[in-house]
Each structure stands twice: as C-alpha cells, then as structure tokens.
Structure 1
Amino acid sequence: MTAAQLHGFPLPWFYDEIKTIHVTRPAKSAQIRRKSVIGHSNALVSNDIMLIEDIPVTSPERTFLDLSALLSLDDLVAVADFLICEHDRAFEPPKPPVVSAEKLRAYVLNRHHVRGLVKARAALDLMRVGVDSRPESRLRLILQRAGLPEFTTNYAIPGDPEVWPDLACEEFKASGQYEGEIHQTPQKQLYDRNRDERTAERGWLQVKVYKADMRRGEAYVVQMFKHALRAQGWPG
C-alpha cells in the first residue's frame, strides 16, 4: 500500500488516511516489527523493485498485483486504467502511460500462485486506455454492468477541432462526461462550454455526471444514460 501511495495510484479515499508504512523483505526473512510499520515477506525478483527518490519500492506492475488482494475489482480496474492511460491530443502535450497495456498484461499473465491473481486477470479484461480519473473508471463500469450499448474511451468526435468526451457511444451518438472538481475553475468552465456546444452541433447528446449523481446510486446514473440513448434512437 505504501508503494501505491508513492506511485500516486488512485485509491479509495480511506487509504489516503493510512499512515502505516508497509515494508517488504525477501521471502523467509524475518518481518519488521515496529510501531506504525507492517512487515511483509515476499519473493521478489530484481525487476519488481525500483527507486523513487532513492527509496526502493515495488514497481508499478508488482504494486498493481499486490493490490489485487486488497482492493475491490472496480478499484483495481481504476488502478489499471491509471497505469495504462495515454493520450495524444492536439490541445495538450502527449501523455505516455506509466506502464503500457501490453506490458502490464504480460507481467500479470506470467505470474502464478499469487494472492489475488484471479482478480488481477479479471481487471486486465476490464481496463481501457484513455481514462483520466478513478470516477471515470467507475462510471464506465457502471454502464457496462447495466448492459447498455458500449461506451468507449479515447474516442474523438470528428470535426475541427475534435471533441474528446470521457465516454462515447458512436452507434447512437451519445457521450458521457464526469464533471469533477477540476471543472469548477473559470478556465475549465469556458473550455467545457465550447466542448458542449461543439458536441451538440455535431448531433451528439451529452450526459454530464456529477459527484452528487454518483451518490444517488448506480441505478440513477444508468437511467440518465438510458434517457439519452433513447432520445438518440436506442430501442432498449
């Protein structure tokens, strides 16, 4: 968990409050026993370890695998989305992934007899490139579980300039946006207004989801998208 925090992984809010340090030593070594320290022993290979400001920590791939024994599947998918996220969009500098999807998949699939491995492999099937935040991951999974037409990530609505929604259903020209706190700044609000206008001009119907909507539950959020899809011709 300490490595995940140092790597900046998106974790459930209560993990941000944890002040305990987790220390892993080689397999069969005596575990550290100190106040506010939890000791672990594990069989790590050299490429499982890296340095962050001269502090040895487990690599992003290994840390993801370790988290699979602790997190729910949805939260683990959010971590995977964070690791593989990459963009190459005209309005911002290119964003490389922390770990490519191919590398993360190969790492997990080549491991055996690890706690949480089944969940980690399930997360590989659900992760998607282009997700910018944990709430976006959760929103996508909610819609997928509801059996709605597929909403994809990293999709550009054609035009000049292109519009990049968080989620896009090309078949019915419906898109989804999670409006987090970053959208409350004046500069971002102006950008969002232009985005909204361009989305509508191109025949797309946009659903904006706020934190308050998510608190009302999955069924409420799904209904928001069902209304939009039906308005765009979805017969479901």
Structure 2
Amino acid sequence: MVGGVPVTTVQRTFLDLAHLLGPDELVVIGDQLVCQHTRNYGPPRVAMVELDALNAYIAGHPGARGLCRLREAMNLVRVGADSPPETRLRLIIARSPLPTFVTNGELLDAAGNPLVSPDLVCQQYRTCVEYDGDHHFTPEQQGKDHDRDFMTKSLGWNQVLINKEDMLAGGRVAITKIARMLVQGGWPDPENLAGRSLRGLLGTRKDAL
C-alpha cells in the first residue's frame, strides 16, 4: 500500500514493463533497481531489489510477455550506476571498440585506501569517466567535484568528464574523448578512435580538434 493505494511490487512492475519498453530502457530501469554501494565516504545506497533476487523473480515467471527482451536487458544490467545517463554512457562504451569499464570502481591510495569512486573505471589503463549532469553545476557540488578531480589526478589517473551534449549523435564525442585519455594511459587504440576530429562538435568551440 502506498498512500492508501494498492500497488504492485517493484519486481512485478518491472516485469509488466517488459513488453512496452525497449532493451536499453529496461537496462536503465534495471540498473536503478539494483544499484547499491557502501563506502567509507558518502552515504550508502540500498538496492530496491538485489540483482540475484530480481533475476530469480524473472526466472519464476516464464510465461510473462516480453520475457525474451527482459532477459536480454538483464544480461546488461550492472550494480553501481547511480543515474540513467550513467547507464546510457556505459552501454555506449560497451558497444564501442573501447576496453572494458566497470561501474563505480574505487581509486586507491598507496596504502590501499579508497579515495574516489568514479562512475566508470578502466583499471588496466588507469582511466576513469565521470558523467556530470545538471546537479553538478550547483556551487556545493562544484566544490565536491573539484576535490574529486584533484584527488583523481593526484592518484595518477586519467579522468574524462562527459556531459549530455557529448552523448548526442551516438556518443561519438564521448567515445573520442575517452579514447584520448585511454591512449595517455597506454591503450594501443587499434582503430585510431583518439585520432578522430572533434572539430565543430564541442559546443561553441568550433576550432577544437
């Protein structure tokens, strides 16, 4: 009961949406349902439904409409994405020739203490990606982000900041930016993604390469 109104469970509602939405939309919702993390900095986040429990519920309804589409989506659901844009960025990266990134991997100091938890992390090439949505432009959040950026650089990581404009046109700008930082981390870039021109694609910076 919510406000005196009987409603279906989170799991059931997700199942009911399977035949109405596309796979990517279902991945976005699935990521939000299972997202959880506990760190020694920042507030914890508790999953609405844990990933194993959600998969078990879906498996227990073999006759549901849209089940094949939902199973396809669940293969792409990951724990740790805090927002829908983060999920969409993760999917763009996963479908590109870029190396693998994981959600909310932690950056450690020399003593092994976690100091920063970027949205997406490629440990092999010490490159991380942050999606900066609208809430990142408040004065309070900007102060936190400046500290985050300073610690990330101090730990020797290459950081890529992505915004909603970078995600347009299939994420070409986002992929190119990420590729350039990966190359700085030693990635061989076999398809020369870092070498693609960004001229005219970075907002008002028409002369950007």
TM-score, normalised by the number of residues in structure 1: 0.76
Which residue of structure 1 lines up, in the alignment, with residue 185 of structure 2?
232
Give the secondary structure class of the aligned counterpart of 2:152.
Answer: helix
More displaced stretch, 106-115 vs 172-181:
106-115
Counting strand residues as a fraction of each chain, which structure ranks higher? Answer: 1
1:9-158 mapped onto 2 (5 Å cutoff): 51-158=1-108
Distance 1:203 1:230 in 2: 14
> How far apart are 1:161 and its partner, in Å?
5.5
2:166–2:172 Cα contact (<8 Å) kept: no
> How far apart are 1:216 and its partner, in Å?
4.0
Which residue of structure 2 lines up, in the alignment, with residue 167 of structure 1?
120
1:185 maps onto 2:135 in alignment: no
Give the secondary structure class of the aligned counterpart of 1:52.
Answer: coil
> How far apart are 1:91 and its partner, in Å?
2.5
TM-score, normalised by the number of residues in structure 2: 0.85
Unaligned regions of 5+ residues in structure 2, if any? 190-209
More displaced stretch, 109-118 vs 174-183:
109-118
Distance 1:116 1:56 in 2: 24
2:23–2:69 Cα contact (<8 Å) kept: yes
| 4+ aligned runs moved over 3 Å, structure 1 | none
1:221 maps onto 2:174 in alignment: yes
Distance 2:179 2:29 in 1: 27
2:92–2:170 Cα contact (<8 Å) kept: no
Superposed CA offset, 1:178-227 (max 9, x none):
10011011111011011111111111111111111112432222111111
More displaced stretch, 75-84 vs 105-114:
105-114
Larger Rg: 1
Unaligned regions of 5+ residues in structure 1, if any? 1-50
Give the secondary structure class of the aligned counterpart of 1:206.
Answer: strand
**Identity over aligned residues, as a percent?**
41
> How far apart are 1:102 and its partner, in Å?
0.7
1:195 to 124, 145, 148: 148
Aligned residues: 186
1:79 to 1:226, Cα distance in 2 relative to 1, 3 A: same
